[in-house]
Amino acid sequence: MVPKDLKIIGSDKVTAIGMGTWGIGGYESPDYSRDKENIEALRYGLELGINLIDTAEFYGAGHSEELVGEAIRGFEREEIFIISKVWPTHFGRESAKRAARASAKRLGTYIDLYLLHWPGTEWGRIEETLHALEELVDEGLIRYIGVSNFDLELLKRSQEAMRKYEIVANEVKYSLRDRWPETSGLLDYMKREKMALIAYTPLEKGSLARNQCLAEIGKSYDKTAAQVALNYLIWEDNVVAIPKAGSKAHIEENAGAMGWRLTKDDREKARGCV
């Protein structure tokens, strides 16, 4: 089991490191060639104690959600936190509801956190979709509402548009190499508002895992470069990272980023490694 290292999304406790599924089960179309390995990897992560899985209707044209649904069978559903997302082409009151129901059907269960995957272009459609998600919370199909790839101003506007529930999370690209949430004020704002920042591409497609400078920092903690890069992110109280759950070995290494913290000095050194 991984060390207890928990963050809060809504009022739920989730592990600081989750399992991302972009590319698992295909990219823009389904890929069935590695289904067994992908399911086994996700199940291994759950067995280790990682309780957060991130997916989307767009991933593998829904096949990623099907694999997640298969992987969670036999586990206590209430102990798992599943994130999925609605693609902008499905924004709108009825379209978003249909998309959410289709995602829940592929998953075989309700959705803990449902996100608007990208902002799209029209504010009216975003607002209509957020209100549709509030209705889905009332229906019990989803539990929490969030957004993804929203900048600070759009996040504030979206939060102000909510009628009944709050936006509890924003999933954005965030890594040691791409620290825009820090420099834009987004991270500080989300901390004040007690929103979870969910960091995707936290290892920059593996390049940070090969960073020798980060590896040197990791030596004194008996940790790898990847674990240092992930720990840099989860050092913040409201940040959760979702590296890709590509294999059992990667999931085990990712889990090792939890249960400890870089010193402030080493965290500053890590910034200088990229």
> Which pair of structure tokens corresponds to residue 40?
């086994």
Evaluate the CA torsion angle 31, 37, 41, 46 in order and state its sign.
Answer: positive
Cα separation, 129 vs 100, in Å, equals 11
Cα separation, 143 vs 139, in Å, equals 9
Q: By C-alpha distance, which of 269, 261, 197 is closest to 18?
A: 197
Residues tagged active-site: 59
DSSP string, 41-101: HHHHHHHHT--EEE--TTGGGGHHHHHHHHHTTTS-GGG-EEEEEE-GGG-SHHHHHHHHH
- Confirm if 27 and 60 have CB atoms less than 8 A apart: yes
Q: Tokens 């979870």 sit at which residue? A: 196
State the Cα angle at 241 between 260 and 44, rounded to 5°: 80
Cα separation, 158 vs 129, in Å, equals 10
- What is the three-class DSSP state of 220? coil
- What is the three-class DSSP state of 27? coil
